[in-house]
Structure 1
Amino acid sequence: MSVLIIVFLTAVAALFSGVFEKGKFARYIGIFGLIVALYVSFLPEASFFEKYRLMYEYGQNTALFTKISIVTTLLLFFLGGFAFSNHRNHQSELYALMLFALCGGFVLFGYQNLVTLFLGVEILSIPLYVMAGANKTDLRSNEASLKYFLMGAFATGFLLLGIAFIYGSTGTFDLYRIHDFSTVNPTNGMFILGVVLMLCAMAFKVALAPFHMWSPDVYQGSPSLITAFMASVVKISGFFALFRLMTIGFSGVTQEWINILGVFLIITLLLANAMGLAQTNAKRMLAYSSVSHAGYIGLVFFGMNALSTYTLAFYLFAYSLSTVGVFMCLIWVEKLKRETSYGAFKGLAKSEPLLAIVATISLLSMAGIPLTAGFMGKFSLFAQALTKDNNTFLVIVAVLGSAISIAYYLRLIIAMFFFKETTFKTTERVSITYNIVAVFIIASIIALGIFPDLFAKQFGL
């Protein structure tokens, strides 16, 4: 909870900095606060917060996911100077809202009961509804904000109704007491209905089909840095919240929801990758890519073992690094070309080779090509699922989806590298900050692909 308080106070400071300097120092305040929070996340939790353990517990798993979300947010803040250069009058609000949303993510990492889960989901979601519409003069951005808000409110209704059914049948909000009830009463109809409703609501938050409809339009219409935040930090938060809910609270009725989740994953993997092939816009393609990765991540629920939490954390961190790597390239191109079609990337490797390289390695990692972190993440998830024979079909679908994804990732790589003439007629060059972030992402993706144990060492496991 110390980390949560630090980031919250940082968000308040960043917000009020806009009163005096129009947000000039908000990014630096955010970076400083995140670095302090990252340092504190490696320290034992203060004993003062023991009294709140029934609501929020900062255990080892909570600390792990807190660290990877802070690192990812830090990388995005480093990119913010260029990405938010056309939001000079309200930069402080955007940085503050990102930090407030991150606070919601922290709550989801350590929630102990369904009330805290609901608070975490709303603290995470409400700033995103505002940030999606940050480009006030852009109709796509306005549409993204409105659509995300309306669909989010609908999903919140599902979540609250599910919580009501769970409470009505168990008489408690506590995850562990709910687990005890589910073990003793695995056929309780009201309880199972609540489980299904909550699963559907959380499937919306992580963009699992068929609850993904909002994702492509919202990702395309939102400012690109905000889209990167949604595709990385928000996905980390949503999936670990779902993981805690299903494996702690609802583990006693696993047979009642695991097949439903399996159907969601199959639809997600086939539909998202097929739609990704049909896209002509790189940003929209990455939206469907994000949906497809929700399908891969969902495999963590199949063939569960003692390493499942670590496998989930590794994959989410690898995917988040790749997401930041691709989006830093997309942000640069979008600023110069004011579009994100595949054609806008033609010849990028000739004018900004480092940007093209980081995007390429990130895309290869997303596709699961060997010697990248994404390959090790997918291999771990597939291997875990294959420990049970009845998951074979699901893994085959995931492998097929991964193979299809290579095609649309290659389209972007070909556009960047295989055109003789560059379309970037500008003297503007990538800043030193971008170059440093690019080198860090390239090194991290390759290092984790060759030496995956580095992840455990760096995050204190």
Structure 2
Amino acid sequence: MSVLIILFITAVLALFSGVYNQGKFARYIGILGLLVALYVSFLPECSFFNQYKSMFDFDDNSALFTKISIVVTLLVFFLGGFAFNNHRSHQSELYALMLFSLSGAVILFSFPNLVTLFLGIEVLSIPLYVMAGSNKTDLRSSEAAIKYFLMGAFATGFLLFGTALVYGSAGTFDIATISAYSIENSKNTMFVLGIMLMLSAMAFKVSLAPFHMWSPDVYQGSPSIITAYMASVVKIAGFFAFFKLMNLAFVGSIKEWINIIGVLVIITLLLSNAMGLAQSNAKRMLAYSSVSHAGYLALIFFGANSLSLYNLAFYLFAYSLSTIGVFLTLIWVEKIKRETSFEAFKGLAKTEPIAAVATAVSLLSMAGIPLTAGFVAKFSIFSQAMNGAAFLVLIAVIGSALSIAYYLRLIISMFFHKESSFKTSEKMSITYNIVAIFIIVAILALGIYPDLFKMQFGL
């Protein structure tokens, strides 16, 4: 809970810093607060907070995913100086909202109770609805906010209705007690119906097809840096909560819901990769890429073992690094060209070679090419899922092969054009280049020596 308190105080300070100098210091306050929170996350939890364990249980798994989320949010904040140039009048609010959303993610990492789960999802999501529509001069941003809010409210209704049915059956909100109930009453009709409704709500949060309808429009319409945050930190929080809910609270009813997730995986992988091939806009392609990775991640439910949470954490960290690696270039191209089509990236390697290499390495990692972190991550989850879901792994391999085609289109645009289409003298900032180098090194290092992940996060 110490980390949660630090993040909340940092968010409040960043919010009120807007009173002075139009939020000039909000970014630095946020970075400092995140660094302090990251340091505290490595320390043992204060015994004073043990009295709140029935509602907030910050265990080792919570600490691991909290560390990952803070590191990724730090990278997003480093990109914020250039990305928020058009939001100088209210950038303090955007940084604060991001920190409030991260606080919701920390709550999701520590929920032992369905009430805490609901609170975490809402604290995570509500700031996102505002941030999605923060570009007031762009109608697509307003459309993204409305769609995200309406679909999110609809999913929340499913979650609450499902929670009510589960509570009505088990007589408790505590997930450990619900787990014991599910083992003894795995086929209780009302209980199973509640599970299905909650599964649908969580599938929306992680954008599994066909609950992904909001993703392409919201990702494309939102400011790019907000999209980067959605595709990384929100994905981390959503999948951890999804996995913990289904494999702990509803473990006794696994036969009732595991096949449904299998069907969702097939639909997700085939639909998202087919739609990704049809895109001409890089940002929209990345939206379908995010949906496809939700399909790969959902394989974690099959053949679950003691290493499942570690595999999930490694995959989410590798994917988040790759997402930031692509979006740092996309943010710069969008500012210069006012568009994000594949054509806009032509010849980027001649103008900004470091950023182009970072984007190429990130895309290859997303595709699961050997010697990248993405390959190790996919191999770990696919190997686990082979125990009982070999057909789904086959579908996932086919999906990965298809994804290479649309990832290569962006790489070809950047590297294989004789002349650069960038006629500007403006260069990427030192901060962006440092982040790009960090991502290149991190992705390749984790791909060659995966145990570095354990060393980084104190495992």
Normalising by structure 1, what TM-score?
Answer: 0.99
Q: Which amino acid in structure 2 is aligned with residue 240 of structure 1?
A: F
Q: Choose the corresponding residue for 2:445, options 444, 447, 452.
A: 447
**Deviation sequence 1:185-238 (CA, Å, 0-9, x none):** 111000000000000000000000000000000000000000000000000000
Alignment RMSD (CA, Å): 0.4
Corresponding residue number in structure 1 for 2:247 = 247
Separation in 1, partners of 2:269, 2:202: 17
Corresponding residue number in structure 1 for 2:281 = 281
**Deviation sequence 1:332-375 (CA, Å, 0-9, x none):** 00000000000000000000000100000000000000000000
Corresponding residue number in structure 2 for 1:184 = 184
Corresponding residue number in structure 1 for 2:421 = 423
Q: Does 1:392 align with 2:379?
A: no
Q: Which amino acid in structure 2 is aligned with residue 313 of structure 1?
A: A
Corresponding residue number in structure 2 for 1:17 = 17
Corresponding residue number in structure 2 for 1:114 = 114
Separation in 2, partners of 1:122, 1:60: 24
Q: Does 1:32 align with 2:32?
A: yes
Corresponding residue number in structure 1 for 2:92 = 92
Separation in 2, partners of 1:279, 1:316: 24
Separation in 2, partners of 1:440, 1:418: 24
Corresponding residue number in structure 2 for 1:373 = 373
**Deviation sequence 1:409-432 (CA, Å, 0-9, x none):** 000000000000101011111111
Corresponding residue number in structure 1 for 2:223 = 223
Corresponding residue number in structure 2 for 1:201 = 201
Corresponding residue number in structure 2 for 1:102 = 102
Corresponding residue number in structure 1 for 2:58 = 58
Corresponding residue number in structure 1 for 2:334 = 334
1:119-268 superposed matches below 5 A: 119-268=119-268
Separation in 2, partners of 1:231, 1:110: 21
Corresponding residue number in structure 2 for 1:76 = 76
Corresponding residue number in structure 2 for 1:315 = 315
3-state SS in 2 of match to 1:22: helix
Normalising by structure 2, what TM-score?
Answer: 1.00
Percent identical: 73
Q: Which amino acid in structure 1 is aligned with residue 269 of structure 2?
A: L
Separation in 2, partners of 1:456, 1:252: 31
Corresponding residue number in structure 2 for 1:346 = 346
* Offset of residue 99 of structure 1: 0.3
Q: Which amino acid in structure 2 is aligned with residue 222 of structure 1?
A: S
* Offset of residue 280 of structure 1: 0.3
3-state SS in 1 of match to 2:395: helix
* Offset of residue 37 of structure 1: 0.3
Separation in 2, partners of 1:203, 1:394: 17
Q: Which amino acid in structure 1 is aligned with residue 231 of structure 2?
A: A
**Deviation sequence 1:380-402 (CA, Å, 0-9, x none):** 000001123xx111000000000
Separation in 1, partners of 2:451, 2:320: 18
**Deviation sequence 1:143-201 (CA, Å, 0-9, x none):** 00000000000000000000000000011000000000001111100000000000000
1:355-366 superposed matches below 5 A: 355-366=355-366
Separation in 1, partners of 2:85, 2:321: 23
3-state SS in 1 of match to 2:20: helix
3-state SS in 1 of match to 2:219: helix
Corresponding residue number in structure 2 for 1:409 = 407
Corresponding residue pairs, total: 459
* Offset of residue 457 of structure 1: 1.2
3-state SS in 1 of match to 2:89: helix
3-state SS in 2 of match to 1:89: coil
Separation in 1, partners of 2:359, 2:406: 14
Q: Which amino acid in structure 1 is aligned with residue 139 of structure 2?
A: L
**Deviation sequence 1:14-49 (CA, Å, 0-9, x none):** 000001221100000000000000000000000010
Separation in 1, partners of 2:438, 2:383: 28
Separation in 2, partners of 1:265, 1:392: 13
Separation in 1, partners of 2:433, 2:20: 31
3-state SS in 2 of match to 1:227: helix
